[in-house]
Amino acid sequence: MRQIIIIGSGPAGFTAAIYAARAGLEPLMFASSVGIGGELMNTTEVENFPGFPEGIQGPELMQKMQEQAEKFGTEVVYDDVTDLDLDGDVKRVTSSDGVVHEAAAVIYATGSAYRKIGAPGEEKLTGHGVSSCATCDGFFFREQTIAVVGGGDSAMEEATFLTRFASKVYVIHRRDELKASKIMQQRAFDNEKIEFIWNSEVASIEGESGVTGMTLRSTVDGTESNLDVTGVFVAIGNDPRTHLVHGKLDLTDVGTIAVDGRSSRTSVEGVFAAGDVIDPTYRQAITAAGSGTVAALDAEHYLAAREQAAVSVGASA
């Protein structure tokens, strides 16, 4: 049986792994079969992670975190978790090959998933002109006119990045004011290739094998208009990935995993949660990393107390 299994390989998971491994707990990490590294793998330049004054590419940062975690003894498995049995003293984690892995403690750090608009055409055209990852798909839109939906930092980042390829980028936002930080807003405002379409939501996305246009609806008076684009990037935020723990761990009103105060302790003893999956507010790489630290320290204390209790029982027997 393992001491700790970590589920998720973003900044929270890897930081938890670094701490747990350095504490000699030899963690096993499930890093996903396709998406190791989490959201930062889809980011370009990360300028606000302390220690990198010149900035660092998201994938490079994640690779360094992985190297650091493995250097101290983390075993990283490129597989998905399909089921969890969290009751009792021994936690059971089933991977996609059907193997059941046992551990005394679990750190759940699965991050969040891209939110969808829910407009007709979006689902069908995802991967065929509709995307949530400018870094992955921007290259396909050279000299084309495309749209980015959203008004937060992600939308500004995606729009700015996409101007490297596209000839024109519309940013469609449902209000007349952005949610993004001032510096990201200014960068987008200063970019001649970006044009903002305010107070508008997506009514539908048109096309058969690729995007041919979209219909916008005014959030002020409901009038509809057409926009000729060949690509749509959806950047309207993320939702915590909690599907594996529904009915097993308590969730908050906003759908994140509930933890005890500032700790990472979930509603089930021996199960700890960290990163975007517990955080509806800050959701930064550095806060996720800090949260991963908290989870590793909480798990370490839990395991030490457990061992101490076992020794006491043994001594009194």
Query: Which residues are catalytically annotated?
Result: 133, 136-137
187 makes contact with ligand NAP (CB under 6 A): no
239 makes contact with ligand NAP (CB under 6 A): no
Query: Closest by alpha carbon to 302, among 278, 273, 269?
Result: 269
22 makes contact with ligand NAP (CB under 6 A): no
Question: What is the three-class DSSP state of 212?
Answer: strand
Residue type, 226: N
The interface region with ligand NAP, picked from 65-73, 125-133, 152-160, 219-227 by CB under 6 A, is: 152-160
The interface region with ligand NAP, picked from 67-75, 101-109, 160-168, 231-239 by CB under 6 A, is: 231-239
**Closest chain position to ligand NAP (CB):** 152
Q: What are phi and psi of 146, to 5 degrees?
A: -135, 170
| Rounded CA separation 110/187 (Å) | 31
Exactly one of 6, 61, 117, 303 binds ligand NAP (CB under 6 A); that residue is 117
33 makes contact with ligand NAP (CB under 6 A): no
Inter-residue contact 5 to 94 (CB < 8 Å) = no
Going by DSSP bridges, is the β-strand pair 271-273/100-108 parallel, antiparallel, or unpaired?
A: parallel
Inter-residue contact 290 to 10 (CB < 8 Å) = no
Of 117 and 277, which has the nearer Cβ to ligand NAP?
117
Binding mask 193-212 for ligand NAP (x = CB under 6 A): --------x-----------
214 makes contact with ligand NAP (CB under 6 A): no
The residue count for binding ligand NAP (CB under 6 A) is: 20
Helix (H) or strand (E) holding 139: none
The interface region with ligand NAP, picked from 127-135, 154-162, 191-199, 266-274 by CB under 6 A, is: 154-162
Of 105 and 234, which has the nearer Cβ to ligand NAP?
234
Task: Give CA angle at 280 (275, 281), nearest 5°.
Answer: 100
Binding mask 45-84 for ligand NAP (x = CB under 6 A): ---x------------------------------------
Of 153 and 300, which has the nearer Cβ to ligand NAP?
153
Binding mask 157-176 for ligand NAP (x = CB under 6 A): x----------------xx-
Going by DSSP bridges, is the β-strand pair 112-114/224-227 parallel, antiparallel, or unpaired?
A: unpaired
Structure token digits, residue 179? 């949610």
| Rounded CA separation 114/251 (Å) | 19
In the block, tokens 């908050």 appear at 252
Query: Closest by alpha carbon to 2, among 277, 299, 215, 258?
Result: 299
Structure token digits, residue 46? 């990360």
179 makes contact with ligand NAP (CB under 6 A): yes
Exactly one of 120, 152, 213, 290 binds ligand NAP (CB under 6 A); that residue is 152
Helix (H) or strand (E) holding 61: helix 58-71
Which residues bind to ligand NAP, rule: CB under 6 A? Answer: 48, 115, 117, 149-155, 157, 174-175, 179, 201, 235-238, 283
